[in-house]
Amino acid sequence: MSGENEETQTAEETSVDEKEIQDKVISPEKAEEAKLKARYPNLGNKPGGSDLLRKRLQKGQKYFDSGDYNMAKAKIKNKQLPTAAPEKTEITGDHIPTPQDLPQRKPSLVASKLAG
């Protein structure tokens, strides 16, 4: 008889233990959710709601206008396009330039016929 009581008690304890374990085990999702909310406390209250959907509907890169789009496409196509050589610091606006400050004029490719 006492044996039976012991068994019943053990059974009850086990079921309580199991429930505690189940509470922790059944929701790995809830654990992940807590992690996310800890990292991003400002995350919207509506899970998977309008914001996410609206972002999905708006998929696709936006450009300022068609010119912007075509420039971007050209840049992708011509990755080898030579970039302009970095200009020497242009001296403007601060003071009136002197001849020494101005960038050297490149010599003409065609030599003068007079030099012939």
Kindly tell me which of 11 and 53 has the beta carbon lying closer to another protein: 53
Binder of another protein out of 1, 4, 5, 28 (CB under 8 A): 28
Q: How many residues at the interface with another protein, by CB under 8 A?
A: 34
In angstroms and rounded to an integer, the radius of gyration of the C-alpha atoms of the chain is 37
Kindly tell me which of 8 and 27 has the beta carbon lying closer to another protein: 27
The two tokens of residue 33 are 């959710």
Q: H or E stretch including 51?
A: helix 50-57
Q: What is d(CA 30, CA 26) in angstroms, rounded to the nearest whole number? A: 9
Question: In this chain, which stretch among 34-42, 80-88, 93-101, 107-115 interacts with another protein, using CB under 8 A?
Answer: 34-42
